Structure 1
């Protein structure tokens, strides 16, 4: 029948097992979800981070468009070829994507240009001179219009487009409201593929005069200086700043029609348009799937390590709980066996004493022979009880170190012979022999040493078959140590049990322990040896015998 406590232990072990299975399932599920989360994050980053690369790459262009172009208006139209050369040189050096620049020295006046420009009524916008600048020193500037100029119809087309845009703006201008900077900038700038034309923005008062010039002929026939620049751009000269090189193996600028044939299933690609004057081009991103996988794992591994660490902690807690339950179960069994066996050990002599006492009390006459017999029985059984109690008391005292080690000179031969005599008298069928090598006397505690001998001798007798009850004791002096050996021809100890035999209350499961054993003998021996600052070793072979070796410090 299973005890209530055993049933409780089984329930606890079942709970621990369920806990471990549940934690393991959660662990595997957490790793799976963490990997999927990381994978989706990296895939999302591959899409969203393109805008960051674009922003960093076109940052110089934005600086050119938003900051450098408006500087032209600071000159109020009074730039000449020399000043324009200095300005253009700084632009060409700082912004490599500017391929070349055309500078138009322009006038707005109230009478017509006969050979060039835009003439609408008496409002005219025309060129005085035009110069081409390449990314070379200023002396290489080429005059495109004016005295000794080269013919270039493209120059006139660009100029006329922006001049027409200026006229349209002036015609629609409401002179009662000052236009915003955004309106001015948009109307004095002409953005074409790979080209930006810019006309310096006049003051609002000048714009009012322009408005009058569109409507009528002014008596003063005013003339206003304007500066116009045409910037040809090369998008392939934009420096790509791949600030996410952990995501993108390759980033390049290509036409919007670009569609690589080699981007097969082994690669992940993406693109984003440049916009503005570069609208015919895009940034093209490409990475191998193996490269993306590497990035996924670089993010996933730290998360996985944290999950594994947490899982390890939980498993350690489960192990500690399991171990404690197992230890408690073993301790419970040991305590149960100890109490059972101790009860048996006490019960037997007590029962014998009680029977002997009842026989004496009920007998009308006791002969001298019976009197001696009952006296011997009572004395033997009382001695058993006393020995058991002394062993328990001594074990507790030694374990808690409440007694002191006595040091007396021991004559080893006399000591062994007297011990053998006592045990031979007690067990006549026990064959005890001894040998002594290089040792005559040494200092030790005779009482503790006698207890050690008695326990090992009794143990050898108890665990030896009837036809092999033999024990040989050897005492020798080896390198300033007293070495004692007890070699019997008993049943031996299984190799798996040797590590347990010195534990308190532990008993080997064999036919020799069926009649009860407290399980203190060898544990008591080990405590004795430790208390005497020595060591105890054991080697054994099943059905052949066991040898206990005790090494004690030699004191002369």
Structure 2
């Protein structure tokens, strides 16, 4: 008893250690859940900040795409004028400007100055020393402009006057060009700085461009300005002023997920709306559009959609990681739970097996001591002790055979030895032996549709014996009844064992065929290894059959076995 108590105490300590492990698993789950919540919160905040930063930074990309047509116009289209080398007439200018109007919607109006250079006086022009530069004709072009409004000035028309408004931009460019000629170094080619500062004039909503002369022409112009000469030929020079409308720039929203609205506003524009739900930003335009800016605005709800869109993959990754950790925790918990149950099963098995062995061994030892200590035995005493020894030896032998057979079946170390079994004789022999052993056991057998069955009689007998033993053991003393029915169903032979025993609780029905499992009731208090039904299931499975059970607590159980019927 002391040893058993020690084992019992040891088991309690072992189970307590498992309870602590379960607590660690729970703590682990709580920690990773808290970590998940913290990670989700932090990820959402960082995503919100990232979207806000993008809102502020991606506007540059929108600006670049919006002004790309202007850059093409400024860098590629305007310099084409120089290809004509000053010999651009009104018809050619009209064709050139028409291509601009078709391609660049932000160009509203173009004024074309057809100018002349020489060393003699040119009316309405400027003169520096011997250098004269003046307009021969001025034309304007615009969409849907009436023909009568195209010509602004012609020097061969007496009624045409070169007005101050018309000549203002021309005079500015002419003075700048004359000053350049005066100090120009004609021994070297023009650099980019000279080209931009002399031949371009960029003002608000206007670009003026003068065709760039060749170096030989610049030498001629410088010579005209510096030296007295006879009347020189008239040299051609073209100049165009492009009037631009920034509101006609086509805004290209490259980030529609960030910017709900983009408009071009004056640089001094300030929104009068004081709405905290609107986020806005701006970026000034450059060049002739420097008095304007791109104005970006989005509602917080609009940006929240983008935040959620970017946050969802992050949240998904976090949840996947979380579920992986939860799965690991579950597997650990499951392993601990299985180990705990296995420990209990092993303890119960050792305890019960010890009891099963100890009882017959003790009885055999007592009977042996009585026989040895008796001076002489009567026939009645000899038969009594002999019966005890025989019964207890049978119990030990049956237990050892069951354990050995179970191991052999699991390892497939035995083979089926089929014989043609007469079912009626087979069942009656078993019934007779049990009724001799248990006179109060009412066993009956009913056979339908089959007389012989080809199977291994030893294995089949083991199945019958285990189920009959269970029916007797788990029935009340006044109600030990078992009905066995055998019937052929198609290619199966169906065996049913119906008793009027105490029944099996529904929660235990899925476990009764497991090794070492015992239903907890008053009939199991004094020993049951928990191998009987597991042994039956392994035998049935080994014989290519199936076994199932139906039971009602207090009314009894019915075990059904189906085995292949093959004669």
Could you say whether these structures have the same fold, taking a TM-score greater than 0.5 normalized by the shorter chain as the test? yes
Which piece of structure 1 moves more, 533-542 or 13-22? Answer: 13-22
Name 1:554's counterpart in structure 2: 565
Alignment partner of 1:16 is 2:11: no
Given the alignment of the two structures, is residue 491 of structure 1 paired with residue 502 of structure 2, yes or no? yes
Partner in structure 2 of residue 64 of structure 1: 73
User: Partner of 1:126: helix, strand, or coil?
Assistant: strand
Q: What TM-score do you get using the length of structure 1 for normalisation?
A: 0.92
Q: Give the superposition deviation at 1:218.
A: 2.9
Partner of 1:354: 365
Deviation at 1:220, TM superposition (A): 4.5
| Counterpart contact for 1:89–1:137, Cα < 8 Å | no
Within a 5 Å distance, the mapping from 1:382-401 to structure 2 comes to 382-401=393-412
Report how far residue 74 of structure 1 moved: 3.4
1:98 matched to 2:107: yes
**Structure 1 residues 406 and 152, CA gap change in structure 2 (3 angstroms):** farther
Determine the C-alpha separation between the residues in 1 that align with 2:478 and 2:74: 112
Q: Which of 413, 416, 425 does residue 424 from structure 2 map onto?
A: 413
The whole-number CA distance in structure 1 between the counterparts of 2:38 and 2:191 is: 59
Task: Find the counterpart in structure 2 of residue 334 from structure 1.
Answer: 345
Q: What whole-Å deviation, never above 9, does each CA across 1:95-127 have from its counterpart, x for those lacking one? A: 22211211111234444444x233455544321
Shift of 1:177: 7.3
Q: Partner residue of 2:466? A: 455
State whether residues 93 and 135 of structure 1, in contact with CA within 8 Å, keep that contact through their aligned partners in structure 2: no
1:362-441 equivalences under 5 Å are 362-441=373-452
| Candidates 41, 51, 71, aligned match of 2:50 | 41
Structure 1 contact 143–150 (Cα < 8 Å) conserved: no
Q: Distance in 2 between matches of 1:462 and 1:262?
A: 90
Query: What is the CA distance between 1:226 and its match in structure 2?
Result: 2.1
Q: Of 15, 21, 29, which aligns to 1:6?
A: 15
Deviation at 1:79, TM superposition (A): 2.5
**Equivalent position SS for 1:517:** coil
Which of the residues 180, 187, 210 maps onto 2:191?
Answer: 180
Higher mean C-alpha displacement, 280-289 vs 92-101 = 280-289
Does 2:215 align with 1:218? no
The reply to whether residue 317 of structure 1 matches residue 325 of structure 2 is: no
Deviates more, 1:231-240 or 1:140-149: 140-149
Matched residue, 1:539? 550
Q: Do 1:134 and 1:141's aligned partners in 2 also have CA atoms closer than 8 Å?
A: no
Q: Go from structure 1 to structure 2 and tell me whether the alpha carbon gap of 1:167 and 1:263 turns closer, same or farther (over 3 Å shift).
A: farther
Q: Distance between the aligned counterparts of 1:237 and 1:354, measured in 2?
A: 115
The aligned runs of 1:163-242 (5 Å cut-off) are 163-170=174-181, 180-204=191-215, 206-207=217-218, 218-220=228-230, 224-242=235-253
Partner in structure 1 of residue 3 of structure 2: none
Deviation of 1:47 after TM superposition, in Å, equals: 1.6
Q: In 2, distance between residues paired with 1:421 and 1:138? A: 129
CA distance in 1, matches of 2:479, 2:228: 145
Counterpart residue number, 1:53: 62
Q: Match of 1:500, SS?
A: coil
Q: CA RMSD in A?
A: 2.7
**Which residue in the other structure is 1:118 paired with?**
126
- For residues 134-145 of structure 1, the aligned pairs below 5 Å read 134-135=142-143, 142-145=150-153
Gaps of 5+ in 2: 1-8
The answer for the alignment partner of 1:518 in structure 2 is 529
1:140 is displaced (CA, Å) by: 8.1
Q: What is the alpha-carbon distance in structure 2 between the residues aligned to residue 327 and residue 139 of structure 1?
A: 99
Determine if contact 1:435/1:474 at 8 Å carries over to the other structure: yes
Contact map agreement 1:86 1:138 (CA 8 A) in 2? no
More divergent stretch after superposition (466-475 vs 540-549): 466-475
Shift of 1:9: 2.7
Distance 1:138 1:461 in 2: 120
Which residue of the other structure, out of 300, 305, 316, is the alignment partner of 2:316?
A: 305
- Contact kept? 1:409, 1:441, Cα under 8 Å: yes
Structure 1 unaligned spans of 5+: none
Q: Give me the whole-angstrom Cα distance separating, in 2, the residues matched to 1:167 and 1:496.
A: 109
Shift of residue 278, structure 1, vs aligned partner:
1.3
Asked whether the 8 Å contact 1:408–1:445 carries over to 2, the reply is: yes
Q: Secondary structure at the match of 1:434?
A: strand
- CA distance in structure 2 between the partners assigned to 1:551 and 1:354 by the alignment: 43
Q: 1:360 to 1:17 in 2, by over 3 A?
A: same
Per the TM alignment, residue 77 of structure 1 is displaced from its structure 2 partner at its CA by 2.5
SS of 2:515's partner is coil
Cα distance between partner residues in 2 of 1:515 and 1:10: 28
Residue 45 (structure 1) shift: 1.3
Per the TM alignment, residue 60 of structure 1 is displaced from its structure 2 partner at its CA by 1.2
Say how many residue pairs are matched.
Answer: 554
Q: Secondary structure at the match of 1:499?
A: coil
In structure 1, C-alpha distance between the alignment counterparts of 2:230 and 2:472, rounded to whole Å: 143
| SS, match of residue 339 in structure 2 | helix
For structure 1, which segment, 475-484 or 163-172, has the greater mean C-alpha deviation from structure 2 after superposition? 163-172
Mapped to 1, the partners of 2:536 and 2:346 lie a distance apart of 20
Measured in 1, the distance between the counterparts of 2:63 and 2:394 equals 100
TM-score by structure 2 length? 0.90
Q: Secondary structure at the match of 1:543?
A: coil
Q: CA deviation at 1:424?
A: 1.6
Q: Distance in 2 between matches of 1:131 and 1:248?
A: 42
Give the Cα separation in 2 of the matches to 1:72 and 1:44: 43
After the TM superposition, which of the residue ranges 257-266 and 226-235 deviates more from structure 2? 257-266
CA positional deviation for 1:162: 1.9
Partner of 1:74: 83
Displacement of 1:523 after TM fit? 0.4
